[in-house]
A and B are shown apart, each in its own frame.
With several copies, the nearest count.
Chain A
Amino acid sequence: MPREKIDLEQDIEYLSILNEKGEIDEDLEPDMKDDLLLDLHRAMLFGRRFDERMLNLQRGGKMGTFAPIKGQEAAQLGAVACLEDKDWLVPSFRETAAEIWRGKRPKNILLAYAGFSEGGVIPKGINNLPAAIPVGTQTLHAAGIGYGIKFKGKKQVVMTFFGDGATSEGDFHEALNFAGVFNTPTIFVCQNNHWAISINRSRQSKSKTLAQKAIAYGIPGIQVDGNDVLAVYAAAKEAVERARNGEGPTFIECVTYRMSVHTTADDPKRYRSDEEVEKWEKRDPISRFQKYLKRKDLLSDEEIKEIESEIKDEIKKIVKGWEKKKKELEGRVEMFEGTFAELPAYLVEQKEEFESELPEKPEKPEDAKKQEAAEEDEEEAAEEAGEEGDDEDEKAEAEEEPEADEESEE
């Protein structure tokens, strides 16, 4: 009949490996191939530049609302870098760089944010779910996919992303609880970027860390420096290995910072100080990682410049390909097809009604049609020959198409 402390049999740890000055804790340095380090660096840089370009396009009125990733490149890329192709990604709406790493075509990202549903197409063989806007809801899908994996006895894992704000949603709670109870191979990665629009992390929950929420579900939880790509990678690697070995889910809190606007519709000046942003600029994940790579002699300033310039060209091509695609899609309205596998009678009727109401376009004379077709062929040929960035995308899609889901695991 005592009053005594209960041993909860689990601790919450904090992990940081590479600090703001580029110094490293060598004991903790993860074992990563040089190629992987360089690929990660390139992806982080690409993520940053693509983000900037998107912001630009949006400000220029060419694109709708989107959520920039600036500052969170390490948190998302360090984590997905632990995944294999056969694994699954369940993103929220702020994982552009992670989605691209996992095979999403940048052109499609632009298309989707320009309001074309066609941008949402996910090719076969790429196991990414579409971006999820309703905060927190996707975490349950990751738990369920994890169960599917277990059920089918596959050696896959599933990783889901969400923000600090999402941890307040009931779905987050239910997802972690289900994952715990059914011991699914699900890695829950919280990008705690300190803000949920205008709500600071401190007002989202009274808990000291978000990582400790794992205790509520009896699953491992860890807090990492989310601007330290090595720490994120190391923590995610552990979690992925546990999951792949049938040891169940993990919750990772990446402490990072949203250096830009919430979305392009947001004005952060209303709720946070410039000083805070400046403080975090000093903790930038990219410059920190570059210092590390330079120390390791894997990267020089010269090379960084080269990569920057390659990325610039690549993005240019992507944007060009996107502009072209947009033109192609203009006037095409296919809104009736996607809702069901087969159109039910009433949708056939509505479609007919819709089409009968379209302004009638005058039939083009045959000659003009032929001319257009020829031009299109030419353009495609030119693309295949020269425009690498976009072209790779097209090829990738073509390759993926025939692969079945099951086969994609190999």
Chain B
Amino acid sequence: MAKLTMVQAINLALHQEMEKDEDVVVLGEDVGIDGGVFRVTDGLIDKFGEERVMDTPLAESGITGFSIGMAIYGLKPVCEMQFSGFGYMAMHQLEAHAARMRARSGGRFHVPMVIRMPYGGGVKALEHHSESREAYWAHTPGLKMVIPSTPRNARALLVSAIRDPDPVVFYEPKSSYRAFREEVPEGEETIPIGQSEIVREGEDLTLISYGAMMRPTLEAAEILEEEDGVQCEVIDLMTISPIDDSKFTESAKKTGRVVLVHEAPRSFGPGAEIIARLVEKSFLYLEAPIRRVTGYDVVIPLFQREFDYLPSAERIMRAARETLDF
């Protein structure tokens, strides 16, 4: 077991899966010789050559549609959108084809591809580089939508995504790329797609989040324990779609109070679905309104103000306290 950053952990997953399965192909802008603008694909081209690690022309729909063709033919493309903010250029390919080829061909063809996209704010990036719009993909039948939160689960989820017979949109929280390290076993490890995890047990309040927002969420949980003596149960969704509502609806039955956290804009965001499921499945147990600590419904500001936009441990704590006091 080595202590790896998320970038290294994802890189490990790619190395190992490419070694294991020669149909796995990596493609995108700058993923080859440059090793990716975040170095996620570093070293792959040296090891697997240009045929399996392909620097493509600058065209997101192209990369995606080309990958769909490869996947139909039998390869397992792992393609990259350099930033999730440019992934919308490929939306029609994902919606109309990747997500539907299985249904459209009566099962003859399917699209075992992964679309990796670094997402989210917090790295002082340029305009269009800080978005968090997982809801677009999660709302698209036929796509799976995964967001890891730590090096270890990033690696394990990516392995599952590559092996999944259906298309998986894989959002990588770029602010967590190098923010911390975690022990990641050298040997194979997978986490099933469609499974959430209780990362902290508690009786008083349920906090639900995923991706980069797990860190302020966990921080808030700790402070709440220290300062208020409140036991938070914290759930990491990991898969946004198909969402695993089993753990959070159970947790809510226990705690009766829920706060959820995401950096995506609030309205029509992922949190709304969580609330809907809680109402559908834990209605009688809810003792307070469910609070959403999220990005605001505005154009995300340039980086000087992005920390005013992004949920923080303070904002989470405030919402938690209000929910507890309700």
- The answer to whether A and B touch in the complex, with CB atoms under 8 Å apart, is yes
**Counting chain B CB atoms within 10 Å of each CB, which of A116, A133, A204 scores highest?**
A133
Minimum distance in angstroms from B70 CB to a CB of chain A: 4
Q: When the two chains form the complex, which single residue of A65, A140, A339 contacts B142, counting CB atoms closer than 8 Å? A: A339
Residues of A within 8 A of B55 (CB): 198-199, 203
Contact with A along B87-110 (1 / 0, CB 8 A): 001001100110101111111111
Task: Known contacts A117-B301, A134-B96, A347-B298; decide if A142 and B57 are in contact (CB<8 Å).
Answer: no
* One of A16-24, A171-179, A237-245, A289-297 at the interface: A171-179
Evaluate contact between A140 and B126: CB separation under 8 angstroms: no
* One of A31-39, A123-131, A248-256, A369-377 at the interface: A123-131
Chain B minimum-CB-distance residue to A359? B314
Evaluate contact between B70 and A144: CB separation under 8 angstroms: yes
Residues of B within 8 A of A65 (CB): 124-126
Complex: how many Å from CA A140 to CA B65?
5
Asked whether any CB of chain B lies closer than 8 Å to the CB of A12, the reply is no
Q: When the two chains form the complex, which single residue of B64, B128, B305 contacts A133, counting CB atoms closer than 8 Å? A: B128
Evaluate contact between A147 and B65: CB separation under 8 angstroms: no
Evaluate contact between B58 and A196: CB separation under 8 angstroms: yes
Q: State how many residues of chain A have any CB contact under 8 Å with chain B.
A: 80
Residues of B within 8 A of A335 (CB): 296, 298-299, 301, 305, 308-309
CB-contacts of B62-99 with A (<8 A): 62, 64-75, 77, 85-86, 89, 92-93, 96-97, 99
Asked whether any CB of chain A lies closer than 8 Å to the CB of B127, the reply is yes
CB-contacts of A70-125 with B (<8 A): 88, 90, 93, 112, 114-124
Asked whether any CB of chain B lies closer than 8 Å to the CB of A399, the reply is no
Asked whether any CB of chain B lies closer than 8 Å to the CB of A190, the reply is no
Asked whether any CB of chain A lies closer than 8 Å to the CB of B199, the reply is no
Residues of B within 8 A of A149 (CB): 73
Evaluate contact between B97 and A137: CB separation under 8 angstroms: yes
Evaluate contact between A350 and B25: CB separation under 8 angstroms: no
**Counting chain B CB atoms within 10 Å of each CB, which of A93, A130, A170, A329 scores highest?**
A130
Evaluate contact between B244 and A345: CB separation under 8 angstroms: yes
* One of A1-9, A161-169, A219-227, A387-395 at the interface: A161-169
Complex: how many Å from CA A360 to CA B267?
27
Complex: how many Å from CA A239 to CA B120?
42
Evaluate contact between B125 and A64: CB separation under 8 angstroms: yes
Q: State how many residues of chain B have any CB contact under 8 Å with chain A.
A: 83
Contact with A along B12-55 (1 / 0, CB 8 A): 00000000000001000110111101000000000000010011
Contact with B along A190-212 (1 / 0, CB 8 A): 00000011110001110000000
Minimum distance in angstroms from B326 CB to a CB of chain A: 16
Evaluate contact between B86 and A341: CB separation under 8 angstroms: no
Q: When the two chains form the complex, which single residue of B85, B103, B303 contacts A339, counting CB atoms closer than 8 Å? A: B103
Complex: how many Å from CA A145 to CA B77?
12
Residues of B within 8 A of A129 (CB): 72, 105, 109
CB-contacts of A345-378 with B (<8 A): 345-347, 350, 354, 357
Asked whether any CB of chain A lies closer than 8 Å to the CB of B61, the reply is yes
**Counting chain B CB atoms within 10 Å of each CB, which of A197, A205, A333, A339 scores highest?**
A339
Residues of A within 8 A of B242 (CB): 344-347
Residues of B within 8 A of A66 (CB): 126
Residues of B within 8 A of A265 (CB): 37
Evaluate contact between A175 and B106: CB separation under 8 angstroms: no
Evaluate contact between B70 and A177: CB separation under 8 angstroms: no
Evaluate contact between B65 and A144: CB separation under 8 angstroms: yes
Residues of A within 8 A of B166 (CB): 340-341
Task: Known contacts A347-B242, A350-B297; decide if A199 and B58 are in contact (CB<8 Å).
Answer: yes
Asked whether any CB of chain B lies closer than 8 Å to the CB of A143, the reply is yes
Minimum distance in angstroms from A331 CB to a CB of chain B: 10
Residues of B within 8 A of A336 (CB): 296, 298
Evaluate contact between B34 and A198: CB separation under 8 angstroms: yes
Complex: how many Å from CA A385 to CA B106?
28
Minimum distance in angstroms from B218 CB to a CB of chain A: 20
Task: Known contacts A344-B242, A405-B74; decide if A64 and B297 are in contact (CB<8 Å).
Answer: no
Evaluate contact between A137 and B93: CB separation under 8 angstroms: yes
Q: When the two chains form the complex, which single residue of B33, B61, B128, B144 contacts A270, counting CB atoms closer than 8 Å? A: B33
Q: When the two chains form the complex, which single residue of B30, B107, B142 contacts A198, counting CB atoms closer than 8 Å? A: B30
Chain B minimum-CB-distance residue to A117? B302
Task: Known contacts A64-B303, A115-B304, A174-B57; decide if A140 and B314 are in contact (CB<8 Å).
Answer: no
Q: When the two chains form the complex, which single residue of B35, B69, B129, B309 contacts A148, counting CB atoms closer than 8 Å? A: B69
Asked whether any CB of chain A lies closer than 8 Å to the CB of B165, the reply is yes
Minimum distance in angstroms from B62 CB to a CB of chain A: 3
Evaluate contact between A197 and B34: CB separation under 8 angstroms: yes
Task: Known contacts A117-B305, A168-B57; decide if A144 and B67 are in contact (CB<8 Å).
Answer: yes
Asked whether any CB of chain A lies closer than 8 Å to the CB of B315, the reply is yes
Minimum distance in angstroms from B296 CB to a CB of chain A: 5
* Contacts A/B (CB < 8 Å), 16 sampled: A116-B302, A120-B106, A120-B302, A122-B108, A144-B67, A144-B71, A145-B69, A148-B69, A152-B74, A165-B57, A169-B59, A174-B59, A198-B32, A341-B166, A345-B244, A405-B74
Chain B interface (Cβ < 8 Å from any Cβ of A)? 25, 29-30, 32-35, 37, 51, 54-62, 64-75, 77, 85-86, 89, 92-93, 96-97, 99, 101-110, 124-129, 141-142, 144, 165-166, 194, 242-246, 266-267, 296-299, 301-306, 308-309, 314-315, 318
Instruction: Given A144-B65, A345-B244, A350-B298, output 18 extra A-B contacts at Cβ < 8 Å.
Output: A64-B126, A121-B106, A133-B129, A134-B89, A137-B96, A142-B69, A143-B65, A144-B66, A146-B69, A147-B70, A166-B58, A168-B58, A174-B65, A198-B33, A338-B103, A341-B110, A346-B243, A357-B315
